[in-house]
Amino acid sequence: MNDFTGEVIANSEIAPGAFLLEMSFSGLPEMRGGQFAMLEPPRDDCVLRRPLGICMAAPDYAAFLMQVKGGGTEAISRLECGDTLRVTMPLGNGFPVKPGATAAIVGGGFGIAPLYMTAAECGGNVRIYNGFATAKQVMLADRFAAVGRLTVCTDDGSRGYRGYPVDALAEDMDGGFVPDVIYCCGPEPLMRAVKKLGEERGVETYLSLEQRMGCGVGACLTCTCKVAGHNTRVCKDGPVFRSTEVYL
């Protein structure tokens, strides 16, 4: 049973509207990059839990990167140290990591959250391309730089590579970088571009999809996406799918 009550140990706004919520737990199971958690907003009128990618994890610790979007996430953003919160995790399949493989990791905005642990799980030969709108929105660059060769990208060029992270990856591949596998999470246009790049160049590509979610455990069938032509549960059968299986 993956239902836990944890205590907030830090909740800081690391970019405008972006909170890194760090919590302590006891007895967490092993959790993988790409798996997610359902967090119960501290508001009685919020019926649904909020699905968030698990950004960092240890047996007694988990951290979530959260965008404030509405009343529920706003309430979570106001949690202070010592406050408690119910969390169901780990949920979903996670990225299938191939130890020792050369991996390219492409993240866009809040989509970088589940990729940190994935990069760490890959081990040495990892290149990470994280994209943001502007320098102000850049998040967790120090952390990512510690688990792979990081290229920060901004749409306006205010920091790092000017342009989308998929273009930075394509340039590196043109220059001789040959990844065995690509892992991606981000806005749909980015994932569409990464799917195209990976498939054109014959690189196995995995995408972590996002969809409005109900139960988060596979029962309600509200968070479906088309996989091989059939409506498939993002929460239970995903959220990570092979790019060739999904339509974007």
Residue 3 as a binder of other proteins (CB under 8 A): the answer is: yes
74 sits near other proteins (criterion: CB under 8 A): no
- Give the number of other Cβ atoms within 10 Å of residue 218's Cβ: 14
Q: How far is the CB of 61 from other proteins (least distance, A)?
A: 23
Q: Which of 51, 72, 92, 109 binds other proteins (CB under 8 A)?
A: 72
Candidates 16, 27, 45, 174; binder of other proteins (CB under 8 A) is 45
Between 125 and 222, CB nearer to other proteins: 222
Q: Which stretch binds other proteins (CB under 8 A): 52-60, 182-190, 194-202, 228-236?
A: 228-236
Stretch that binds other proteins, among 21-29, 96-104, 171-179, 229-237 (CB under 8 A): 229-237
Which helix (H) or strand (E) segment holds residue 155: the answer is: none
| Contact window for other proteins (CB under 8 A) among 5-13, 53-61, 124-132, 230-238 | 230-238
- Return all residues near 121 (Cβ < 8 A) that are at least 6 apart: 32, 33, 95, 97, 99
Tell the smallest beta-carbon distance from residue 39 to other proteins (Å). 12
Q: Does 81 bind other proteins (CB under 8 A)?
A: no
CB of 222 to other proteins, least distance (A): 4
Nearest residue to 87 via CA among 12, 175, 23 = 23
Is 146 a residue that touches other proteins (CB under 8 A)?
A: no
- H or E segment and range at residue 35: none
Beta carbon of residue 236, minimum distance to other proteins (angstroms, whole number): 7
Contacts of 229 (CB under 8 A, 6+ apart): none
> Taking CA 34 as the corner, what is the angle to CA 120 and CA 192, rounded to the nearest 5 degrees?
110
* 244 dihedral zone (left: phi>0; alpha: psi -120 to 50; beta): alpha
212 contributes a contact to other proteins by CB under 8 A = yes
* Binding-site ranges for other proteins (CB under 8 A): 1-3, 40, 44-49, 72, 86, 88, 212-224, 230-231, 236
